Amino acid sequence: MSQWKRLSPKKRALCLTVLVFVLSATVWASGQWVSDWDEATSISPVPIASEPADLEAPLDEKPSEIFVQKTSAFGDRGNVLVSVQLTPDQVAERQANGTADFITIGDLSHQVILRDDGDGGDGKAGDGLFTGLATVDVNDLAARAEAESATVASRSGSKDVPVFEDRAIVGTETPQPFDFKGFDAGAPVRLEPAVAFIQPESGATQTSQNPVSGASSSGDLVSASAAAVVLGTNVFQERVLVIRGLPVVTDPARTYNPCNNGGNNAGVWTFNHLMTEMANPAASGIDPSVFAENWLKHWASTQTINADTVPARVQINQLIARWKTDSGGVKLDLKKSPLRLLAILPRVDLRRTTGGGGSYSSNLSGKFLDAGEMRFVFGVVLKPGWSGTGFVGPVQIPGQANGCRALPFSVIVEYKVPKCECKGVKDWAARWVDLKNWVPGTVDYNGRLERLTQEVVRANGDPRQPNGSNLGQLRTNEVALPPSTTPYGQPGGPQWELREFQLTQFPFTFLNETTVADTPEDAYNNNANGTGLLLAWVMNAIPGGPPPVPLFFGTRNFLAGNSIVPDPPAPVPVHHWNAPGLNLAIPAQNNARFQVSLAACNGCHRGETGTHFVHIDPSNSIPGSTAALPAALSGFLTGIVWNDPANGAPAREFDDLARREKDIQQVANLACLRFHPVNVATVQASLKSTGKLPPDLFAGLPVLPFEQRVPLAVDDLRRNRVKQVH
């Protein structure tokens, strides 16, 4: 399932107009668009028939194994056979839906087919081993094998790494280098994700404790499996994955300190710069100051989003008024914004693929739509002299001017990275991984990081999108603004709330408030509204996990306009999603409940992960933290064992930065293969007349040069697929 159902009507209309705009986008971008889109779309189209339905056979789940084998039997069409082994359950599902003979990858004009009919390179019909023809640079495989062998040999101590299923650790494995010797001898050789180890972790900034079976009487966390969680972070994670050190977030040339007006208020990592580039005034005519104020005013009045009422939080007016006063009283001066940088993060793990994949769908293909996301996290502050009356939780920032207080109010700016070809995604990940070799604060490190961020942030970064911006969404997470009314089904008092904003109109737009990702309306939790739909949605998640939450489910509006949870919490975070009628003693039902709850904003940020609603702390919201920089991190990021909040068991292990560390290294060492597209017209004609694929999938097509063939990251089909967008 795609994201189509969670888009607003205006954004659906956008999708229908994008193709027209692309024709003129290159001129409008004035040469500033840095992307590999042109390379990815340079593949020559091949003939297609008018009815595509009989070629809809995507790969829905991670295969159990992938093999590559040298071949010279197909001339210039390819030099390796790629075989994807499905599990018996996956084969049975394909037999049931009539796609047992082949797997399709890509679109109809660039279609790749893997077959299991005993023909065209496939060894045996019906054995669940689907085979296709590809081309690979053999020297690349040799270099990868040599590098992986050296990495394994240099590893001291344990050579095990954690195995993740979605976000949770489920065991360990010992990575093996690619067997180039066997490959060169002509044997079918396993192609796994690249070898990647986790650096030793230490120095945890925060640990949540769950006072049930997952914790000892001393408060020390007890591992529930052989894959013990190690608390804390390491050099790789701090330099590459959650960049929050003072040499970066207080870089005087690139950041701004709202407490003393220090630094560079127009620096490339300031809120001012991001808003200005997002508004793109040269192309849109939108004043960035008006752009920012329009966004803030969404809190000033009650919103109705997908029929979900989002109550006003009118305290925002005081924040706007004080900011205007500092700006001279007319409009907001973005150079005086009350936001300080907390962190910069690459989220390559959120990469999407055609036909699904990544965090947004259940399908896999190895053909990328993007290289995931890149995020900036800011915290809102009350500058010296600003009144804190009416705000919840302002706290003095240690080491800053007296009266400069941090609010429990995060702003997360999340960009899509416009890389849609295997080599481009691989190189993007490798450039982030390379940061581990440099020291934050130096010219080498900060300069490299600036080039990475600017490539995505700057105006006209993707002229196919509104405002020419790569923005995916801007999300906020705060309890600082008290709600004007008590939300449905919630007690009174302060409420943590997560909201989401997008650029929704084409070609130019303001930020508009939208639904929040993968979160049902709060009224469905525990069946508070009596519809029973959450129970149905949870049961729908068995066995493959929940698809993205749709706008409508069971004829009712389902996707939420905001995500809330009471504050202060119980002694431990317990808020989670549940439904009467579930038998939590049945592992499949409770696991489905967990998946639905973890995917929801206020499940991931609360009871399912032992988190006090923020993963990167803008103030002192995480127990034991202060408002001083670097910002504290949640146990979900740094390592925690947490008992299931609905059933007490199982105890799940989270160490999300370790998961991301493993993943980004594997992406940086992808094996990028090229597949010759098939003759779709011939294939469809054969299926229509005989019910079978033709012996030669390429008959009637000229041999395409290597660079015009379909690029696929075959080993990425075996990655740990994360279904949550957080």
What are the structure tokens assigned to 660, written together? 């991301």
Q: What is the pLDDT of residues 641-670, one digit of tens each?
A: 999 999 999 999 999 999 999 999 999 999
Q: Which of 350, 375, 349 is nearest to 242 (CA)?
A: 375
**pLDDT tier, 10 (very low <50, low <70, confident <90, very high otherwise):** very low
Q: CA nearest 258: which of 339, 193, 194?
A: 339
With a cut of 90, say whether residue 429 has pLDDT above it.
yes
Q: Quick one: pLDDT at residue 193?
A: 96
pLDDT band at 47 (very low <50, low <70, confident <90, very high): low
Q: How many residues does the chain have?
A: 726
| pLDDT value for 33 | 34
Q: What is the pLDDT of residue 355?
A: 63
pLDDT tens-digit series, residues 99-143? 899 999 988 888 999 999 999 999 999 999 999 999 999 999 999
Under 8 Å between Cβ of 126 and 135: no
Rg (CA), the chain: 26
| Structure-token match 């939790």, residue found | 525
Q: Are 77 and 705 in contact (CB under 8 A)?
A: no
pLDDT digits (tens, 9 = 90+) for 301-354: 999 999 999 999 999 999 999 999 999 988 999 999 999 999 999 999 999 988
User: pLDDT tens digits for 611-650?
Assistant: 999 999 999 999 999 999 999 999 999 999 999 999 999 9
Least confident of 11-15, 447-451, 594-598, 696-700: 11-15
Angle at 203 between CA 343 and CA 351, to 5 degrees: 40
pLDDT at 54: 63
Instruction: Assign 18 a pLDDT band (cuts: 50, 70, 90).
Output: very low
Is residue 696 pLDDT above 90, yes or no?
yes
Encode pLDDT of 77-98 as tens digits.
Answer: 999 999 999 999 999 989 988 8
49-58, pLDDT tens digit by residue? 444 446 888 8
Cα–Cα distances in angstroms (integers) from residue 357 to residues 366, 369, 378, in the given order: 8, 9, 29
* DSSP H/E element including 236: helix 235-236
Q: How does residue 491 score in pLDDT terms, banded at 50, 70 and 90? A: low
Mean pLDDT in residue range 535-561: 92
The SS3 assignment for 112 reads strand
pLDDT bracket for residue 546 (50, 70, 90): confident
In this prediction, residue 486 carries a pLDDT of 67
pLDDT, averaged across the chain: 88
Check residue 706 and report its DSSP letter.
G
CB 439 within 8 A of CB 446: no
Q: Tell me what pLDDT residue 608 has.
A: 96
The residue behind tokens 């009144």 is: 387
Q: Is 75 left (phi over 0), alpha (psi -120 to 50) or beta?
A: left
* pLDDT, tens digit, 9 for 90 and up, residues 133-180: 999 999 999 999 999 999 999 998 889 999 999 999 999 999 999 999
Please tell me which residue, 31 or 403, carries the higher pLDDT value. Answer: 403
Encoded tokens for 268? 């490339």
Range with lowest mean pLDDT among 42-51, 74-83, 520-529, 546-555 = 42-51
What is the pLDDT confidence band of residue 11, given thresholds at 50, 70 and 90? very low
Question: In angstroms, rounded to a whole number, what is the distance separating the alpha carbons of residues 495 and 66?
Answer: 48
Q: What is the pLDDT of residue 225?
A: 37
Tokens for 191, please give them: 């192609």
Distances (CA, A) of 242 to 16, 247, 343, 411, 431: 36, 13, 6, 15, 15
pLDDT exceeds cutoff 60 at 226: no
Lowest-pLDDT choice from 66-70, 93-97, 377-381, 668-672: 93-97
* Lowest mean pLDDT, pick from 50-64, 267-281, 555-569: 50-64
* Per-residue pLDDT, 23: 26
How far, in Å, CA of 697 to CA of 55, rounded? 13
Tell me what pLDDT residue 493 has: 75
